Structure 1
Amino acid sequence: MKNSIKLFLTILLISLTSCENAKVEKNIKMYSSTWDEIINKGNLDLINDTHFTEDITLVMSPENIVGIEGFKDYYSNFVTGFSDVEFTLADVFGQGDKIVKHWNFKGTHSGEFFGIPATGKSVNVEGVTLVKMKDGKIAQEQDFMDNMVFLQQLGILSNPENVGIINGLYNAFGAGEIPNVLAALDANVIWNEAEGNAYADGNPYIGPEAVLNGVFARVGADHEYFNLANIELHDMSNNQVLATLRYQGKLKKNGVIFDVQAAHLWTLKDGKVVAFQQYVDTKKLADISKK
């Protein structure tokens, strides 16, 4: 008798587990295909009461988004704000009415995104979403992603490493390590000296070699010494760093010693300098050269 009961309970447990697994698999399949259609194919009409509960809730701060229309409005920003979209699920698993998805989103910011005008920048971000299902429909979602990285890729926030990169560049220049300075420049860097500066005759200098020959070599040839002093770095938006500093040097041709205020605006991308703009008192430099 006891063996019969054990056998019955075992069969019942297997049956219940099988049913539960089938339910989870069905939920995952429905969930995955729905979001593939919505994001990759831009089919926002699938955000309806067939696939989502009427009170579908997106958990977020400071206030949750509740209801199909609000939910659709929110995700329309991703569909209309980005082109060349690739939304992939790296992993999806579930238990009961809960699903966890690990996803990757790639795209080009080519349209308005939550009021942000198109930047033309590409994004590649990963995140995790916790999902609750109800009666085979999506009832609740909560996304977790590194918003700081996302905004940095859009160019709205700067990479926090930018200041350190520029600081290292100035240190290398001060130590006479010009190859290390050039290594910090992008292969197609656009370098502009201040208008009116003698070295602006080659503007814009394109590429590290042009900067070396058109600016650095000439500075070295024209001066007994040339130093950068009182350097202060200021982190800016759009992956830019502003440096305020002074040029201190001695001209070879007339022996004049000078101390001139200057500023440099650096633009970076992926850890490399892609643009440089110099600002300096060019009249003072010209007057010094004439003495």
Structure 2
Amino acid sequence: MRRTYELINAGDIAGFGDLVADDFIEHQGAPGFPATKEGTLDFFRALLGAFPDMSMSVEDLVADGDKTVARVTVAGTHRGSFMGIPPTGASVDMQLIDIMRFDEAGRVCEHWGVADMLSLMQQLGVVPAGAPA
């Protein structure tokens, strides 16, 4: 699982793709991208186009059987269009939780995830930040 983040951080989407099974299923889904291996690779290409200095840092990692769970901090600078939002130049960071299931060959065959999109949209200035709780 750590290796997937290392390859994405390096911008090596083809290398990341080598770790993903051909019959991969994306359960989280991103608007406009199919829930397949190619759709996921295209999503990360688009993400790196919008945040070219993006880095994903694993804060916690738990493994059990064929599944791993990671709490990840994602940081980057908004330099390209993202979900229809023109570049803002804003430095952003957000938290996400990823669950990956691996097949017998050690490839990622399923992914579930939750990302703090509200925080991201607030940092990009698309959604107003609320008063502190």
TM-score by length of 2: 0.86
CA drift at 1:107 = 0.6
SS in 1 for 2:75: strand
Flag as ranges the 4+ runs of structure 1 deviating above 6 A: none
In structure 1, which of residues 89, 104, 109 is the aligned counterpart of residue 58 of structure 2? 89
Question: Which residue is 2:26 aligned to?
Answer: 58
Give 1:116 deviation, angstroms.
Answer: 2.0
From the two aligned structures, give the one with the greater helix fraction. Answer: 1
Cα distance in 2, alignment partners of residues 87 and 115 from structure 1: 22
Identical-pair percentage: 25
1:119 has 2:119 as partner: no
Q: 1:102·1:127 contact (CA, 8 Å) conserved in 2? A: yes
Deviations 1:9-51 (A, max 9, x none): xxxxxxxxxxxxxxxxxxxxxx21222111x111111243x31
Closer/same/farther in 2, CA of residues 82 and 61 from structure 1, 3 Å limit: closer
Structure 2 matches for 1:44-193, cutoff 5 A?
Answer: 44-48=13-17, 50-60=18-28, 65-135=34-104, 136-161=106-131
Structure 1 runs not aligned, ≥5 long: 1-30, 163-291
- The superposition leaves residues 50-93 of structure 1 with CA deviations (integer Å, 9 ceiling, x where unpaired) of 31111212212688843221111111122111133221001112
Q: Structure 2, unaligned stretches of length 5 or more?
A: none
Structure 1 Cα separation of the partners of residues 13 and 29 of structure 2: 23
Q: Which amino acid letter does the alignment assign opposite residue 35 of structure 2?
A: V
Q: Rate the CA distance shift 1:93–1:69 in 2: closer, same or farther, 3 A.
A: same
Q: Pairwise CA RMSD of aligned residues?
A: 2.1
Q: How many residues align?
A: 130
Task: Name the SS for the 1:66 alignment partner.
Answer: coil
Structure 1: how far apart are the matches of 2:78 and 2:109? 29
TM-score, structure 1 as length reference = 0.42
CA contact (8 A) 2:61 2:68 kept: yes
